Structure 1
Amino acid sequence: MISSRKPDPFFSSLLKIAQNVQEAAHYADDFKINTVSDLKEISVHLKNYETAGDKLIHDLIVKLNKSFMTPIEREDILQLSIRMDDILDGIDDFTAHLEMFSLIEIDDSMRTFLGYITKSTDEIVKAMELLAQKKLLKMHEHSVLIKDYERKCDEVLRSSVKQLFLKEKDPIRIIQFKDIYEKLEEVADYCQNVATTIEAIIMRNA
């Protein structure tokens, strides 16, 4: 059982990483793409979030290497940080592919994906806030919601690809849109990986 006497610097670091991922997801979800130049702008901003995330993880690793004692297994702390960073990398990869394809048409399926991903990052932040407060058992409800959002993203992928093949005649556009849908579903998978790690931490420490 983890002591609840004072805030732990490792849990505070994990919360900062989660908040950076959350901000990036909300930025991508809120950004309105109208021209090709907008694609460059969103790509540059997402790269800034990614750079900030890399620095946060680097600082956490330095802290781990210098510390004799950690509140939970250091491998769990590192894995949780890396899995949150995977979400950020995935969002960055999504916007990079939009720019690579010069694809300014953000359709309803992409918006739905981004909505669920953004909600997942909100739940991750809530879970990390509880971890910082050392309320591990309460984290479970947030991991359940994240997994439910990932399941919904699976459904969006199946339906969006089906509609794409039914309605789109241009094979190049089929390839482009299918790639984007799969990138977004992959980000949802990364969110689920965070939820799985949260549940493992609860099991070993609560």
Structure 2
Amino acid sequence: MDILSLLFPREKKFYLMVEKQVLLVDEAVADFKNLIINYDVLSSGQKNKIILRICQKERSDDILYTQMVQALKSTFITPIDREDLHQLTSTFELIMDTLETISLKLKIYKIKKDNILVKQSVVLFKMFKFTRRLIFSIRNESEVEKYCLQIRKLEQKADEIYIEGLEVLFSNSNSPVTIIKLKDLYSSIEKIIDKIHEASLIIENVAVKYS
């Protein structure tokens, strides 16, 4: 028995929607990490191309999220399953929305490559890879525990990076405008990281229910 029969015993379409949504977010997170890491060597055109891909994935995710909500309203599912599924897909949708917003802000702010953003993007990338694995390992209790532990450790590391970033930002002789821009970006990425952690807790909770 896999996640399909666990979460959506009557409706395979829900599993396919979740799978597609996870893949969309995973691809967008990978694009975002590559954008941040290579920010100083990419041309404006290359940056815009990556940002456009992220925006297109966000549009696809919006459509998928709407389809999911409509399907939930028209299909009989037990209350717990409905709540879990809606909460999970809503969390992924918020992650994608925020990722698009940050990407567009990078284009507007025209900042230089930043070490804290690089560190955050790497942690973000690793966390979602574990989240993706977690979803497809939900029947394996030891795997669920392992991936959730890794996600918690990365979330704690992300908190440390965020604090480090603020300390450096306010201790150096940065202009007020630079401080505002970078603090906004740091905080927005931290928000995504927190949401990924929330998604892992939702999945862990579902695994416990069906263990």
Identify the match of residue 149 of structure 1 among 138, 151, 154.
Answer: 154
Which residue is 1:109 aligned to?
116
SS at match of 2:171: helix
Structure 1 alignment gaps of length 5 or more: none
Q: Once the 2 structures are TM-superposed, how far is the Cα of residue 147 of structure 1 from its aligned partner? A: 1.9
1:6 Cα shift? 10
Partner of 1:20 in structure 2?
24
Are residues 1:98 and 2:106 paired?
A: yes
Supply the distance in 2 between the matched residues of 1:51 and 1:113 (Cα, whole angstroms).
24
Residue from 86, 89, 98 that aligns with 1:81: 89
Q: Summarize the Cα distance change of 1:193–1:175 in structure 2 as closer, same or farther, 3 Å threshold.
A: same
- The separation in 1 between residues aligned to 2:205 and 2:180, in whole angstroms, is 37
State the number of aligned residues. Answer: 202
Assess if the C-alpha contact under 8 Å between 1:39 and 1:102 holds in 2.
Answer: no
Q: Aligned equivalents of 1:127 and 1:84: distance in 2?
A: 14
- Tell me which amino acid in the other structure corresponds to 2:131: I
Taking the aligned partners of 1:74 and 1:66, their CA distance within structure 2 comes to 11
Residue type of the alignment partner of 2:116: S
**Structure 1 counterpart of 2:50, from 42, 46, 54:** 42
Within 2, Cα distance between the matches of 1:56 and 1:171?
Answer: 40
Render the CA deviation track for 1:38-64: whole Å, top value 9, x for unaligned: 553333221101011112222222332
User: SS at the partner of 1:106?
Assistant: coil
Contact 2:95/2:192 (<8 A) preserved: yes
Percent of aligned pairs with the same amino acid: 22
Match of 2:65 among 57, 82, 85: 57
Normalization by structure 2: what TM-score?
A: 0.84
Match of 1:123 in 2: 130
Q: After superposition, what is the alpha-carbon deviation per residue over 1:107-135, rounded to whole angstroms, capped at 9, x for unaligned? A: 1211110111111111111122224xxx1
Distance in 2 of aligned mates of 1:202 and 1:129: 11
| Cα distance, 1:130–1:6 mapped onto 2, change above 3 Å | farther
Could you give the per-residue CA deviations for residues 169-206 of structure 1, whole angstroms, max 9, x where no partner exists?
A: 31211111111111111111111111121122123222
Give the unaligned 5+ runs of structure 2. Answer: none
TM (norm. structure 1) is: 0.86
Kept after mapping to 1: 8 A contact 2:134/2:200: no
Distance (Å, rounded) in 2 between the aligned partners of 1:140 and 1:25: 23
CA distance in 2, matches of 1:127, 1:77: 15
Q: Which moved more, 1:65-74 or 1:138-147?
A: 65-74
